[in-house]
A and B are shown apart, each in its own frame.
Chain A
Amino acid sequence: MNKESEYLSVTEVAQMLGISIPTLRMMRKTTALGKLEILIGKRVKFSRKAIEEYLKGKNDEVTQQKTPTGQLEIMSTQDTINHKAKKDLIDLRDVLCIDPYGTLSLLIYLIGRSRESKSTELLISTSEACKKLRYVGFFDYIDQFAPLVKYNKKILEGEKYFPPDSLLPITLLRRKGEERRVLEQLNTLFIQQGFSEEIGSYVGWLLGELADNSLTHDGNLLKNKMCFIQAQRYSVGENSKCVVIGIADTGQGIHKSLKQNPKHKKLSDQVAVLSAFRPNVSSWDDEHKRGKGLTDILSIAMGNESLVRVSCGNIDFEFDFQTIKKVGIIRIEPPLLEAQGTRFGVLYIDHQFKKKTREEVDEFLRKEIKRYENIKNE
């Protein structure tokens, strides 16, 4: 084969693809075909091999979306919200990045302290993380529900900032059913921002279950029930699409709720949190046949090969289902923030996957719980 025949002209490619030259011109601008062209002299050519692979679907726009397995984490893990040294002062000036899980954990923590009549000072700056907190409505909720939090409002006044990863700002749910309106809105945003149709369906399922759980097991009087939702895009390389979803409530925490069922009252706090994810484990009596919502969250995350983080009280777990690492549950110590309510961080990768069954989730959990049963509860 001579050098010339390794390359195809625009006309030859159009013939091979069975399309007209104007269509090919449009496809060069809008699809992966554009990346295959090579300039030889003054003429646009295509490598024959690349076009043959394109025809087999090996380098088209579908395969462009790579699964970023092995590179993901709920970013707040890395944050330096140093509340340990001084609980009445939180310095956010050095925080580099904050995702919905971190944002909502901080919000719940501050609302909780204010409810306990404890004052807290927030040190803020014009850093990207602080501007982002302002954009997602964090300070508005602080002003509304955490009156004992003091911060210098003037610092961020007039700052114009639009976070590039913005999706859904902090949204408050106070009554059951309000989540459906938010989920419809989120679904529209996913489509507008180029995500697949499936992501809205799975995210709707998991957020619907989590919001329903939050507002059912909260333990607060109706007027004090609060459940916050937030979502942002998560970029890992240019070809991946992920979402980080945070959902948090000001309730009693999963472990306390579960232990209301006499069957589970002797469990340690950490085992109670993990057991709540097993099928048919609930604070309700067995006759009600409850306790599947949290199992479903894990069955989606396991299939999706992503991450789930759950925290309440001083318990903070990360369920890591990325197959490149050893799949397992990691207890994060110390927790990001010690707050009574339950906080979830869910990372969802927008790719084709097969959801795991409830039995597969249960098998995984039984092994992990056995491991944690041997670790002394704090």
Chain B
Amino acid sequence: MKILKMNKYGSVLTGREFGKDTMEKIARNIEYPVCLDFEGVNSLGSSFADEVLIPIARNQGNKITVIHVKMPVWDCIQDVAIDGKIEIFKKVDN
């Protein structure tokens, strides 16, 4: 499974338009399935997460794997997952 480093897009990932732009960039060279690495991401907003996590999950059987997730980021991911009816798996940090 490929690792997609989310901190490439910043440490604060908020805003729906920014989420859409980010997803467009990601979509150019993504190879599914991917694991989203949140190391160095301090904040995640649900609007941003809606635009990125859900489309990725839809392309890999409505499932998404995440790693290096801080508690507030995890809270946000959980909300988005429940709403978008996707399954999330949290990889244990090494």
A residues adjacent to B (C-beta < 8 A)? 176-177, 179-180, 183-184, 187, 197-198, 200-205, 207-209, 211-212, 216, 279, 289, 292-293, 296, 299, 355, 357-358
Contact = CB atoms under 8 A, between A and B. Distances in A.
B59 interface: no
A292 to B, nearest CB: 5
Interface string B1-29: 00000000011101111100000000000
Which 7 pairs of residues, A with B, have the shortest CB-CB distance?
Answer: A208-B14, A204-B43, A201-B72, A208-B45, A180-B12, A183-B12, A212-B15
A293 B18 contact: no
B70 interface: yes
B71 interface: yes
Contacts of A204: 12, 14, 42-43, 45
5 contacts: A176-B18, A209-B14, A293-B45, A293-B47, A357-B82
B47 A177 contact: no
Contact of B14 (A183, A198, A279, A299): A183
B87 interface: no
B79 A201 contact: no
Interface in B24-59: 42-48, 50
Nearest to A206: B45
B83 A208 contact: no
Contact of A212 (B10, B16, B73): B16
B33 to A, nearest CB: 24
Chain B: number of interface residues, binned into ranges: 20 to 34
Contacts of A205: 14, 43-46, 72, 76
Contacts of B50: 289, 292
B73 A177 contact: no
B17 A176 contact: yes
A240 B76 CA distance: 26
Contacts of A209: 14, 45-47
A200 B14 contact: no
B43 A176 contact: no
B16 A180 contact: no
A63 to B, nearest CB: 20
A88 to B, nearest CB: 38
Contacts of A197: 42, 70
A147 to B, nearest CB: 31
Contacts of A357: 79, 82
B75 A355 contact: yes
Interface string B64-79: 0000001111011001
Contact of B79 (A207, A212, A292): A292
A202 B14 CA distance: 12
Contacts of A201: 42-43, 70-73
A280 to B, nearest CB: 9
A180 B83 contact: no
Nearest to B73: A201
A184 B46 contact: no
Given A208-B15, A212-B15, A358-B83, A183 B75 contact: no
Contacts of A358: 79, 82-83
A212 B48 CA distance: 10
A106 B7 CA distance: 38
